[in-house]
Every structure is written in C-alpha cells, then in structure tokens.
C-alpha cells in the first residue's frame, strides 16, 4: 500500500484534505485515538520515533523501533490515516565539539545505521519522512547552542544524509525536513538562511514548520503569522506537524500552560485558517491527548479545542481557500476584520470570518455584497449569498444578578 504521493504535498487543495494530528505510538490509547481522529476528519498522523542513551557515551538504544513502527503503520492502514515519521533523540545536555551535537562519532554512526534500516524497511510505501524533530531544540544539541553555525551545519548535514538515504531505496521518496521549533521568522531567520545555503531543501518537497505562537506575541494571537511568517521556504510549500496552545492545567503563567481552554480553542481554529491562507500543504496539530496541548478528552472525544477546529474544517469539507477579502481599514494584524473566501465546484462560496478585537454586530461590504454579521473572536462561516451559519461555542452571559454576571445554561 502507498499511503501518500507528491499530490499530498500540494498546497492548493481543500482544507479538509490537509489536517494532521500528532500522536505518540508508545501510549496504550494510540489505536483508539487514531480511530477517533480519523472519524472526525483528520487525514494524516505524525508518528514520532525515539531513541535514547543509557549514558552520555553509551550505545544508542532503539528498543525495537522497527517493530513498533510497523504496528503503528498497520493501525494507520486500518483507519485510513496517512503517516508522517520523524525522529527524536535523547538530550544528554552535552555538546560534543567534534560532531557539534549531543552524540559522539561512534553514536552517530550507529544512529545512521539504524535509521537506514528503518528507511529500507518502510521504503516505497508513501511515508512522508519528516527527518529530525526540532533539531534547534534539545534533541540534537543543547538549546543554548541552537544559533551556533557549527551546530546548525551538523544537523543540516545529517538531515541531507538522511534524505539521500531515502532515495537510495525509493526514487519517489517524500522528504519534508527542517521541523524547527522557531515559531515566527524573526526568531530564527539565521537558522533558516544557513539551512537553505547548505542545500537542506535541494531534494525536498516541502519544509516543516512548528509555528507555535507564544503569549509574548499579543497573548498568543495567531495573526502575528501574517506579519512575520511566509508560507514557503526555499520556494517549497511549508507544512506543519506541530502547532497549538498549551492549556493552563496547574495555574501556570508561562507558555507551557498559559492559555485557557477557550483561548486555545479560538486561537487554534484561527491559526488553522491562517496556515491554509499562507499555503501550508499539510496542517498538523499537536497533539491528540495525554498532554496540556491535547485536543481530546480522556475518552478520545474532542474537547473544545478539537471540536471548534474540526467543526470548522468539516463545515468547509471539500472547499479550497481562494482569497482574503479586505472588508475594513486597519492599522495592524490585530485590528483587522478577517474574511476568507472558500470555493467548491458546483457549490455556493463560503466566507470564514472573525476579528481579534472588532467583535459585535457589523454590516460589511464583501465584494460589493452587504452582509450583516455578528463578528466574534472565533471563526464562523457564512454562505456567500449572505446567509450566516453561526455556531455558539461559548455560553451567553446575562447581567444584573446577585453575582454580577451569570452564565446561562
């Protein structure tokens, strides 16, 4: 069976065909989650592959990764999901100044040998090879060395070796490297420039981004991507296999647990449309469950984040984005009113709309049509004939109670 082809990495296609969920094949709920995610409309799943060290100078431990990956691929096949595979290494906090990474030369050779076995085992199956996961985080070298040109050169060269290895066994290999944690362009342009100069993308079909938007960017509002993020790298489409918002599950006040469920839901749905507009060919959410970023409840049903995003995607089933319609004057990306036109053969066009700040009842001129809408800070959909199809995700509030305000159930 061939899971994916080059057509899966084309940007100009329906949003409903692009959605990926990031899962963890080691957890007992993996199959149940994949079944649930397939049912609600996800088409792809990112499957992490892990190796670790017993000690800093010890042999890498792969712990039957080939067998575990085969089980995961069989589950993908069972539920019609298309796999993407990336690789994570253990962080030992040590920078080897011969290899400029966490691993010494002997360890690197063993890693290459095992990765080659994985490629040989699963070649010619249409797997999307996502290469190293977040090499600018802690999985390749200590985090404080992420901008070190020698460290960048080290992981770029390894990634290029891996890409060449896939083509030894599969002339149609699908490679999408990079996967950097850099959220917006101003935080990692030096990394990107060096990767391009060194030819990371010369045999690739796209580049993976992890476009997390943290709270220091106007409380995490994703519209910053329109100001600082491009939709291509080295002339190739971007795709994501991680983005999302970590919910505050323990009173946290930082970006690993900063956002409320309502904020995470609104921002994730908005960023999904923004990535589609920017031309991402695959749009991948982190993650299914077992994490503060989760879009599922413990029973694998969708929480508010997952429900809002996938309801939106499914309402646009088969629709492809066409344009951003300018409907109001604005000074920055946050005081704009967003309206994106989607089309589908033999169907009326749809407009997806929201505003980060200018919420409320408004009468808008959309391509010379007057439409009266109740604009919210989460995406809603209106048919282009002017008939809105709103969804209420947040309970209405009534005032003048003994408590000041009261949620109406």
Q: Tell me: the pLDDT tens digits for 92-104?
A: 788 999 999 999 9
Per-residue pLDDT at 231: 82
Q: What pLDDT is stored for residue 390 in this prediction?
A: 64
> 207 pLDDT exceeds 60?
yes
pLDDT class of 173 with cuts at 50, 70, 90: very high
User: 352-393, pLDDT tens digit by residue?
Assistant: 999 999 999 988 877 777 888 899 999 999 998 766 666 767
Q: Is the pLDDT of residue 331 over 50?
A: yes
H, E, C per residue of 368-399: CEEEEEEECCCCEEEECCCCEECCCCCCCEEE
Across 126-141, average pLDDT:
96
Mean pLDDT of 342-359: 96
Mean pLDDT for the stretch of residues 64-91: 96
pLDDT given for residue 323 in this prediction:
95
pLDDT of amino acid 256 = 63
* Predicted pLDDT at 408: 34
pLDDT of residue 54: 82
pTM of the model: 0.92
Residue in this structure with the two tokens 């929480």, named with its chain if needed: 303
- Eight-class DSSP state of 8: G
Q: Quick check: helix, strand or coil at residue 88?
A: strand
Whether residue 401 has pLDDT greater than 80: no
For residues 376 and 389, give the distance between their C-alpha atoms in angstroms, rounded to a whole number: 13
Q: At how many degrees (to 10) do helices 304-315 and 261-278 cross?
A: 30
Q: Going by C-beta distance under 8 Å and a sequence separation of 6 or more, which residues neighbour residue 97?
A: none
CATH code for residues 6-318: 3.20.20.80
What is the Cα 332 distance to its own chain's centre? 25
Phi, psi of 205 (to 5 degrees): -110, 0
pLDDT at 405 over 60: no
Is-contact 383 350, C-beta < 8 A? yes
pLDDT digit string, tens, across residues 268-307: 999 999 999 999 999 999 999 988 999 999 999 999 999 9
d(CA 367, CA 369): 6
- pLDDT at 50 exceeding the cut of 60: yes
pLDDT higher than 70, residue 398: no
Whether the Cβ atoms of residue 163 and residue 123 lie closer than 8 Å to each other: no
For residue 52, the surrounding DSSP H or E stretch is: strand 44-53
DSSP string over 214-242: -TTTGGG-TTHHHHH--SEETTEEEEES-
Specify the range with the lowest mean pLDDT, choosing from 49-58, 200-209, 312-321: 49-58
Predicted confidence (pLDDT) at residue 183 exceeds the cutoff of 80: no
Q: What is the mean pLDDT of the chain?
A: 90
pLDDT score for 400: 40
pLDDT confidence of residue 368: 77
Position 384 scores a pLDDT of: 84
Nearest alpha carbon to residue 84 among 113, 33, 42, 114: 42
C-alpha to C-alpha distance for 173 and 169, rounded to whole angstroms? 8
CA-based end-to-end distance of the chain: 49
| Reported confidence tier of residue 220, pLDDT bands at 50, 70, 90 | very high
Distance CA(104)–CA(387), nearest Å, equals 63
Domain boundaries along the sequence of the chain: 6-318, 321-389
Is pLDDT of 403 > 80?
A: no
Confidence band of 79 (pLDDT split at 50, 70, 90): very high
């Amino acid at each position: 069976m061939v899971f994916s082809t080059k057509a899966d990495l084309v940007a100009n296609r329906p949003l409903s065909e692009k959605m990926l969920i990031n899962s963890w094949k080691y957890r007992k709920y993996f199959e149940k989650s994949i079944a649930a995610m397939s049912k609600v409309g996800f088409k792809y799943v990112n499957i992490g592959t892990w190796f670790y060290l017993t000690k800093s100078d010890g042999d890498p431990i792969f712990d039957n990764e080939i067998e575990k990956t085969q089980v995961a691929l069989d589950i993908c096949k069972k539920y019609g999901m298309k796999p993407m595979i990336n690789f994570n290494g253990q962080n030992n906090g040590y920078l080897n100044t011969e290899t400029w990474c966490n691993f010494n030369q002997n360890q690197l050779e063993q890693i290459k040998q095992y990765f080659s076995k994985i490629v040989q085992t699963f070649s010619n199956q249409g797997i999307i090879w996502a290469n190293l996961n977040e090499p600018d985080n802690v999985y390749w070298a200590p985090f404080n060395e992420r901008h070190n040109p020698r460290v960048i050169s080290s992981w770029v060269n390894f990634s290029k070796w891996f890409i060449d290895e896939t083509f030894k066994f599969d002339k149609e290999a699908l490679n999408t490297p990079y996967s950097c944690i850099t959220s917006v362009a101003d935080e990692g342009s030096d990394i990107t420039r060096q990767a391009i100069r060194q030819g990371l993308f010369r045999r690739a079909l796209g580049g993976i981004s992890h476009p997390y938007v943290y709270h220091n960017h106007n409380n995490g509002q994703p519209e910053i991507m329109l100001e600082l993020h491009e939709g291509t790298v080295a002339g190739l489409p971007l795709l994501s296999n991680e983005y999302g918002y970590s919910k505050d599950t323990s009173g946290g006040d930082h970006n690993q647990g900063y956002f409320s469920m309502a904020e995470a839901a609104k921002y994730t749905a908005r960023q999904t449309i923004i990535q589609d507009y920017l031309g991402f060919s695959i749009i991948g959410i982190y993650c299914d469950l077992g994490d503060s970023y989760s879009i599922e409840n413990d029973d694998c049903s969708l929480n508010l984040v997952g429900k809002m995003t996938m309801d939106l995607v499914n309402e646009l089933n088969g629709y492809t984005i066409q344009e951003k319609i300018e409907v109001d004057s604005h000074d920055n990306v946050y005081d704009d009113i967003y309206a994106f036109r989607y089309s589908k053969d033999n169907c009326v066009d749809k407009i997806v709309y929201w505003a980060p700040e200018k919420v409320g009842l408004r009468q808008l001129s959309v391509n010379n049509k007057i439409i009266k809408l109740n604009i919210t800070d989460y995406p809603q959909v209106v048919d282009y004939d002017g008939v809105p199809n709103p969804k209420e995700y947040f309970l209405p509030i009534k005032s003048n109670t003994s408590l000041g305000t009261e949620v109406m159930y």
